[in-house]
Amino acid sequence: MSDLEQSVDSQYFESYSGAEVHRLMLSDKIRTEGYGRAIAEIVKPGMTVLDVGTGTGILSFFAARAGASKIYAVDRSDILSVTEDLVEANGFEEVIECVDGVAEEVELPSKVDVIVSEWMGMFALTEAMFESVCRARDKHLKPGGIMIPGSIKMCLTPIQEDKLYKEHGLGFWTDSLYGFDYTPMINTEIADLDSNSVEGDKAIALASSAMLVEVDAVADPIEAYWFDSHVNFEITKAGRMHGFLGHFEAALSPGVLLSTAHDTPMTHWRQSWFPIRERAVEVGDTFTIHFKARKDPTGLDPRKPTYFMEGEWIRSGDVIDKFFYCHHGTYE
């Protein structure tokens, strides 16, 4: 591992050392109660469990409540010392063993029946924790073992949302700012776009969502998460298209689906916003999109993805426009 990668990892684990980030996650009832129901459905008495990135231990506590005989709660963050106190405070010290380290590097006495992890960052891929989970799976999961989540889908939806476009999109530059013309800034921002996490519950979907990728957490390799996808959208509602919202759907168990779509209850992940130039679309217009996710090509932060979007806007068989955007993933 290079000095830069070590520095990024150190900062990453340090970011989970304080109380506030754990308050954010534990306050997300959609997330936390969903995991609780899935673990209760999957973990049976006597099973062994590996909790990758345990944080304050809530997933391990759910597994202990479900009857697991042994749980390895692994984390490299300094929060683990507090987690040990939490384990004792809840009377689980005979069942839950806190392990300081990276899940794919630690040694366990035997392979486990279940691996559980809340590894998803913004638009799932940010933080790239899935890489650690995949390596831990290959090392520690029994043949026929279970992963929580078992699979994940990543989806994209073309939307109209005037407020997003003005406050977090290219529309900020289109109106006069303090009496001055700032429209030349549009091209500057297009050259350095971010994909931020936003509350997209007021967005108007101009077409049905399209699935970019579905990954099998039990069988698929790390490379499957860094996807390269082609999707089509047919506009079903005329309007002004301002960009795309990205969301993921995690199948935590056969009976529990965790969705971050804009038309479902809001989670702390919210939705990922991919702004583009505004365009007036009509019913029947189609957009062909080539969308791919890659590690940060600058190499400065391998935990932050970069998304490349190339597309065509077609009306009545004619190509109206071709476009290309690059959006940098963010932690917020």
Tell me the domains of the chain and their CATH numbers: 3-118 (3.40.50.150), 152-329 (2.70.160.11)
Give the span between the Cα atoms of 39 and 114, in whole angstroms.
10
Active site residue 127: yes
Instruction: Supply angle C-alpha 230, 249, 327, rounded to 5.
Output: 50
Q: What is the pLDDT of residue 313?
A: 98
For residue 190, give both structure tokens: 């297009």
pLDDT tier at 10 (50, 70, 90 boundaries)? confident
pLDDT in tens, 16-66: 899 999 999 999 999 999 999 999 999 999 999 999 999 999 999 999 999
Measured CA to CA, the distance from residue 132 to residue 267 in angstroms comes to 24
Choosing from 20, 33, 107, 127, which is the catalytic residue? Answer: 127
Give the pLDDT confidence score for residue 2 in this predicted structure: 66
Alpha carbon distances (Å) from 315 to 149, 205, 324: 40, 19, 18
Write down the residue that tokens 């692994």 correspond to: 74
pLDDT at 39: 98
Q: Is the pLDDT of residue 160 over 90?
A: yes
Going 21 to 23 to 27 to 31, the CA torsion angle's sign is positive
Place of tokens 């289109």: 174
pTM of the model: 0.95
Annotated active-site residue in 94, 118, 199, 278: 118
Residue 214 has pLDDT above 90, yes or no: yes
Q: What is the pLDDT of residue 271?
A: 98
What's the pLDDT at 326? 96
Give just the sign of the alpha carbon dihedral 257, 261, 267, 269: positive
Torsion of CA 273, 274, 280, 283, to 10 degrees: -80
Q: How high is the pLDDT of residue 7?
A: 77
72, pLDDT greater than 80: yes
Q: Identify each DSSP E strand in the chain by its residue range.
A: 48-52, 70-75, 96-100, 112-116, 141-148, 151-160, 193-198, 204-205, 210-216, 228-234, 239-253, 256-259, 271-281, 286-295, 305-315, 318-329
Over the chain, what is the mean pLDDT?
A: 96
181-219 exposure pattern, b = at least 16 Cβ within 10 A, e = fewer: eeeeeeeeebeebebbbbebeebebbbebbebbebebee
* Model pLDDT, residue 216: 98
Predicted confidence band of residue 4 (pLDDT cuts 50, 70, 90): low
240-251 as b/e: b if 16+ CB within 10 A = bbbbbbbbbbbb
For residue 274, give the 3-state DSSP assignment.
strand
Amino acid letter, 108 = L
19 CB-near residues (< 8 Å, 6+ apart): none
As a whole number of angstroms, the distance between CA 43 and CA 116 comes to 10
199 catalytic residue (yes or no): no
> What is the distance between the alpha carbons of residues 78 and 6, in angstroms, rounded to a whole number?
16
Q: Is the pLDDT of residue 297 over 90?
A: no
Rounded CA-CA distance 295/302 in Å is 6
Per residue in 181-212, pLDDT tens? 999 999 999 999 999 999 999 999 999 999 99
Query: If you average pLDDT over residues 92-113, what whole number do you get?
Result: 98
Can you give the pLDDT at residue 1?
58
Q: What is the mean pLDDT of residues 143-147?
A: 98
